[in-house]
Amino acid sequence: MFKKIKSTLAQKLPLFQLRFDEYEIENDDRPFTATVFESRDASNVIAVTSSSEIIMVKQFRYGIEEYTLELPGGLVDEGETHMQAAIRELEEETGYTGTDWEFFTKIAQQPVFIDSYIHTFYCKNAKLEKIKKMDHGEHTEVVLISTTDLKKMLMEDSFIHPHAYSALAKFFLHLEFEY
């Protein structure tokens, strides 16, 4: 029903490669030009300590000019798997490492105009072992929150990062079904 007939690369922007895709659409007499921002996938992690606390990071976000509470995570580097990126980001942003990793879920970054996905991993028995190593412009504060408190916080409007929110909410929906 949607047939891509032409794809044109436009400007290279910070964070993105802009692209215009032209579509023929069934039952629509005019072609439609879609704007797409090409970008790299990201990974984040629900890392749980042996005391059933989830490792969160508080971080200033330039888009909304506010601090958000998020899962540790970041962009997947070239040559890296999604899981390797999650392991690296957990260590860099929090100093925690863990031995037991599994894929949990993925979600689109913003399917309307961005082509990338965020993959979420689950890491049990996370331990504080290293020193944090931040990127330029990045300053995270590590916050450990018990699973009980975090579930309550998901009811509040202060929790505003959509990808951290979806992953954690799914985690709690699963816990509820499985236990």
What's the CA gap between 138 and 32, in Å, rounded? Answer: 39
- Cβ proximity to its own copies: between 80 and 138 the closer is 138
Within 8 A by CB and 6+ apart from 30, the residues are none
Backbone angles phi, psi at 58, to 5 degrees: -100, 130
Piece in contact with its own copies (CB under 8 A), picked from 34-42, 46-54, 94-102, 124-132: 34-42
Of 17, 23, 143, 145, the residue at the interface with its own copies (CB under 8 A) is: 23
- Cβ proximity to its own copies: between 58 and 130 the closer is 58
The reply to whether 6 sits near its own copies by the rule CB under 8 A is: no
The reply to whether 40 sits near its own copies by the rule CB under 8 A is: no
- Cβ proximity to its own copies: between 128 and 175 the closer is 175
